[in-house]
Amino acid sequence: MKTVLTQSKRIVVKVGSSLVTNQGTGLDKVAIGNWAQQIATLRAQGCEVVLVSSGAIAEGMQRLGWKQRPSAVHELQAAAAVGQMGLVQVYESCFREHAIHAAQVLLTHADLADRERYLNARSTLRTLLSLGVIPIINENDTVVTDEIKFGDNDTLGALVANLVEADAFIILTDQNGLYTADPRKDTSATLISETQAGDATLEAMAGGAGSHIGRGGMLTKVLAAKRAARSGAHTVIASGHERDVLPRLLQGESIGTLLTATSLALDARKQWLADHLQVSGKITLDAGAVRVLRHDGKSLLPIGVTQVSGEFQRGAVVAMLDSEGKDIARGLVNYNADEARRIAGKASGEIESILGYVDEPELIHRDNLVLL
């Protein structure tokens, strides 16, 4: 029984492109109407709901008569601009039937990577929820570029769950949940009913990409659940075709796959650090520095750094990697890239003689650092 969901009061629901557009044939108004009905039921029970919806590009492709998803950025942006019109119109009309206001919110990673814009987005979403409005969120595909995109709406949904400190993140897809193998290829595959978000074996099970309509496969959903768990949100991956799936889940019924959040939620500032998908630079650490960060909760000193890559200024968010290139932490760096390279591998007492000044003895202070 998914009893951990019965206490959920703030929920982020993500619906995929294949569901919203009925495998790319056009907006499925009946399905969207059903989700609006379910969300209205949750609202009547005292829940706050944020909806992350794919479908703009797929709807634009259908309206423009395109059979294959284009690869050119400007064509994708054009499709999104056309499709967004129809997508919002359908959601608005469906929620209006239940006397519920909806609001469109378009985001890019740049909106969340900047601390001030992150806080503004957080305040806006919380205000909408307090007003009883359903925020409908999508990536701002009409202006996004590779450098600032989330990549898929599973990731965006997890970031929104962190942003609003949701209790649960529900991913509705065209599959019944997460299986031990791809059920379309392996008849012996079995559904995983419940496990922990972040379980290392899940990523191997999740496989590759999804349909030709959307961009996310099960792997993106597993990684999204891991990200959502950092703020304490439990994740469910379930079929959007399941009757009344949202109310039934919140009543504790076992549907799909539950990925539970087991670690303590990060505080808001460290959550912002952890949520950076793109970073200004990367710093590789030796085994001793990795051990100190992971187990002793200490700051990163220059002596533990073996390599600095990228160009960044003081105060930028950088990634910290172990010797195998695995991303282990994020942090705000106290020195720019050139200075960091010059003091890498050196004792803190040598910083002044190398740079001509010393700002901080730490390259990254533990208060400005979060483990992933």
pLDDT in tens, 125-152: 999 999 999 999 988 777 766 554 666 7
pTM for the structure as a whole: 0.83
Q: Identify the top-confidence range among 69-83, 197-211, 266-280, 351-365.
A: 351-365
Which domain covers residue 135, as residue numbers? Answer: 3-270
223 and 323 assigned to the same domain: no
Domain end residue (candidates: 244, 270, 296): 270
250 and 296 assigned to the same domain: no
H/E stretch holding 53 reads strand 48-53
262 and 290 assigned to the same domain: no
260 and 305 assigned to the same domain: no
Q: Which of 128-132, 243-247, 273-277 has the lowest mean pLDDT?
A: 273-277
Q: How far apart are CA 91 and CA 170, in angstroms?
A: 18
67 and 152 assigned to the same domain: yes
Domain end residue (candidates: 270, 295, 328): 270
* Type of residue numbered 253: E
Nearest alpha carbon to residue 172 among 245, 266, 260: 245
- Can you give the CATH number for the domain in which 333 is found? 2.30.130.10
101 and 240 assigned to the same domain: yes
284 and 147 assigned to the same domain: no
Nearest alpha carbon to residue 2 among 294, 282, 238: 238
pLDDT of residue 150: 60
Scanning 21-108, the segments in alpha helix (DSSP H) are 29-44, 56-64, 73-96
The first and second tokens of residue 172, run together, are 């509705």
- Can you give the CATH number for the domain in which 74 is found? 3.40.1160.10
Confidence of residue 53 (pLDDT cuts 50, 70, 90): very high
Average pLDDT, the chain: 88
68 and 151 assigned to the same domain: yes
The first and second tokens of residue 336, run together, are 């720019």
Helix/strand/coil for 50: strand
* Type of residue numbered 147: E
Asked whether 191 and 177 are in contact (CB, 8 A), the reply is yes
146 and 165 assigned to the same domain: yes
Q: How far apart are CA 276 and CA 113, in angstroms?
A: 6
216 and 285 assigned to the same domain: no
Domain end residue (candidates: 223, 250, 270): 270
CB under 8 Å to 72, separation ≥6 — which residues? none
**Beta pairing, strands 102-107 & 48-53:** unpaired
309 and 357 assigned to the same domain: yes
Into how many domains does the chain fold?
2
pLDDT > 60? residue 303:
yes
214 and 183 assigned to the same domain: yes
Asked whether 334 and 316 are in contact (CB, 8 A), the reply is no
pLDDT of residue 185: 78
pLDDT mean over 94-105: 96
pLDDT of residue 212: 40
